[in-house]
Amino acid sequence: MKKIVYMDAAAGWLKPKTVIGAETDFLTNRYANAGRGICERAAGVDNMVADARAAVAAFVGANPENIVWTSGATDGLNRVVNLITTQKDYRVDSTFAVSDLDHHSARLPWENLLRHGKIGREVIVDLDENFNIKIDSIPKTDVFVITAMSNVFGVAQDVGAIIRAAREKNPDVITIVDASQYVAHEKIDVKEWNCDFMVFSGHKIGADTGVGVLYIRDVERWWPDKFGGGMINRIIDESNWVLNRAPEKFEAGTLPLTQICGLPYAIESLTGWSGGHDLIAFMHDELSEIDKIKIITSRDACMLTFYVDGMHALDFGALMGARDVCLRVGNMCASWCHKMLGIDGSIRLSVGPWNNMDDAKYVVDAIRQVVK
Ligand SMILES: Cc1ncc(COP(=O)(O)O)c(C=O)c1O
């Protein structure tokens, strides 16, 4: 197989052998549906799902009943909008706060409500000169979407302090944390953050695509947003149902079992990984010396993002691709921060445990050839 240098961890993490092994074993030897059978094989799958949930709960500092499976961060972020806006006490004149750090998946579902007159007003939170959320100017709002780490800037936000500041302005603010990039680099502690919701995708840390995590703090407060098999305990009549307890009441339909099976192995594989900061810092130093390259990220960020004067990001990506380097180019589904920077796209290098210094040197050489 052709060797490539894969530096696109922030878009899709390469899969550890343990994940592939666990999923192959599950599909080959252990497969059955979950929550539907009572034979030994089916019970084994129920246990597998429960163990995976417990592993995720421990990973983010939650209790297992607060962990809901989704198909990914985008699914989780859209589901939260439905959860909030279908409650009896939801007011269509509510305000929501977002920032220019947001990914389209975090902000568009709320702007879609605005577009259709289903929410009152959008507030854009200020960023400081280092593109961090300005804690001392957090506005009063009903809903607050917080990007824990931007997929362009790669810097961890002080989520706990941001939420505390938002609650000082409005004790009832509903806080939603998008931890899609944060999850690979920093320890998530939902209890310390005291957020209402938190999401991430399994594929950003080495699990397969198709599984995501939605943390819901007050599981009793929210009526489910999805209906179907597995979430109802008993139907009394057409409008009187007994729901299953959380988290099952939020999990209508068959779960992505194979992906759930792999997720604890992905979590385990992060243990001991240094974060690749030496590689990012090395490439930052080298690329800083090239005039045409304008670096956006700080030297200690979790990714290296830049643009090239006089060259479109997509052309750059094609030329790097021809040199067998896989990286991310374009607006990265983060249009607002590019707009703020006055550019229409950028180039991102992001590393995972499979990358080494030889990769970093190869990439720097390839970039020198492409921009000269
Ligand atoms: C910060 C951020 N939020 C949300 C998402 C959406 O993740 P997914 O496409 O896995 O749903 C991404 C993916 O790149 C991201 O980087």
Alpha carbons 347 and 280: distance in angstroms, whole number: 14
Give the pLDDT confidence score for residue 38 in this predicted structure.
Answer: 83
Compute, in angstroms, the gap from residue 59 CA to the centroid of ligand 1: 19
Same domain (yes/no): 155, 304: no
Query: How do strand 346-349 and strand 304-308 relate by DSSP bridges?
Result: antiparallel
For residue 157 and ligand 1, the question of a CB distance below 6 A is answered with no
Q: From the CA of 76, give the closest atom in ligand 1.
A: 11
For residue 305 and ligand 1, the question of a CB distance below 6 A is answered with no
Alpha helix (H) residue ranges in the chain:
17-25, 40-60, 73-85, 104-115, 159-169, 190-193, 257-269, 277-288, 313-322, 335-341, 357-371
Query: pTM of the entire structure?
Result: 0.97
Same domain (yes/no): 116, 184: yes
Q: Which of 149, 180, 211, 331 to mutate to test the pocket of ligand 1 (most atoms within 8 A of CB)?
A: 180
26 in a structural domain: no
- Element at 39 (helix H, strand E): none
Give the pLDDT confidence score for residue 1 in this predicted structure.
Answer: 76
Same domain (yes/no): 37, 168: yes
For residue 105 and ligand 1, the question of a CB distance below 6 A is answered with yes
202 in a structural domain: yes
* Domain finish residue from 269, 301, 333: 269
Give the pLDDT confidence score for residue 330 in this predicted structure.
Answer: 96
Q: From the CA of 178, give the closest atom in ligand 1.
A: 3
Same domain (yes/no): 306, 261: no
Which residue, chain included where needed, has tokens 């409008």?
239
Same domain (yes/no): 114, 187: yes
Alpha carbons 181 and 153: distance in angstroms, whole number: 10
Compute, in angstroms, the gap from residue 46 CA to the centroid of ligand 1: 28
104-122: pLDDT as tens digits: 999 999 999 999 999 999 9
* Domain finish residue from 269, 298, 323: 269
Give the pLDDT confidence score for residue 245 in this predicted structure.
Answer: 96
For residue 216 and ligand 1, the question of a CB distance below 6 A is answered with no
CATH of residue 357's domain is 3.90.1150.10
21 in a structural domain: no
Give the pLDDT confidence score for residue 36 in this predicted structure.
Answer: 76
* Domain finish residue from 223, 251, 269: 269
Same domain (yes/no): 310, 223: no
23 in a structural domain: no
The total number of structural domains that make up the chain: 2
190 in a structural domain: yes
Q: From the CA of 102, give the closest atom in ligand 1.
A: 1
* Residue pLDDT tens, the chain, 372 long: 778 999 999 999 999 999 999 999 999 999 999 887 789 999 999 999 999 999 999 999 999 999 999 999 999 999 999 999 999 999 999 999 999 999 999 999 999 999 999 999 999 999 999 999 999 999 999 999 999 999 999 999 999 999 999 999 999 999 999 999 999 999 999 999 999 999 999 999 999 999 999 999 999 999 999 999 999 999 999 989 999 999 999 999 999 999 999 999 999 999 999 999 999 999 999 999 999 999 999 999 999 999 999 999 999 999 999 999 999 999 999 999 999 999 999 999 999 999 999 999 999 999 999 998
Same domain (yes/no): 136, 249: yes
Give the pLDDT confidence score for residue 205 in this predicted structure.
Answer: 98
Contact 252, 79 (CB under 8 A): no
Edge-to-edge strand list for the sheet holding 304-308: 293-295, 304-308, 346-349, 328-330
Same domain (yes/no): 265, 277: no
Same domain (yes/no): 93, 238: yes
Same domain (yes/no): 63, 114: yes
Compute, in angstroms, the gap from residue 273 CA to the centroid of ligand 1: 22
CATH of residue 55's domain is 3.40.640.10
Give the pLDDT confidence score for residue 132 in this predicted structure.
Answer: 97
For residue 142 and ligand 1, the question of a CB distance below 6 A is answered with no
For residue 73 and ligand 1, the question of a CB distance below 6 A is answered with yes
Give the pLDDT confidence score for residue 357 in this predicted structure.
Answer: 98
Same domain (yes/no): 125, 247: yes
Give the pLDDT confidence score for residue 188 in this predicted structure.
Answer: 98
For residue 181 and ligand 1, the question of a CB distance below 6 A is answered with yes
For residue 72 and ligand 1, the question of a CB distance below 6 A is answered with yes
193 in a structural domain: yes
Same domain (yes/no): 229, 360: no
For residue 78 and ligand 1, the question of a CB distance below 6 A is answered with no
Compute, in angstroms, the gap from residue 249 CA to the centroid of ligand 1: 25
186 in a structural domain: yes
168 in a structural domain: yes
Give the pLDDT confidence score for residue 2 in this predicted structure.
Answer: 76
Q: Which of 69, 74, 150 to mutate to test the pocket of ligand 1 (most atoms within 8 A of CB)?
A: 74
Q: Which residues pair with 311 in a beta bridge?
A: 308
73-95: pLDDT as tens digits: 999 999 999 999 999 999 999 99
Atom 15 (ligand 1): residue with closest C-alpha?
Answer: 180
Expressed as residue numbers, the domain containing 355 is 5-15+273-371
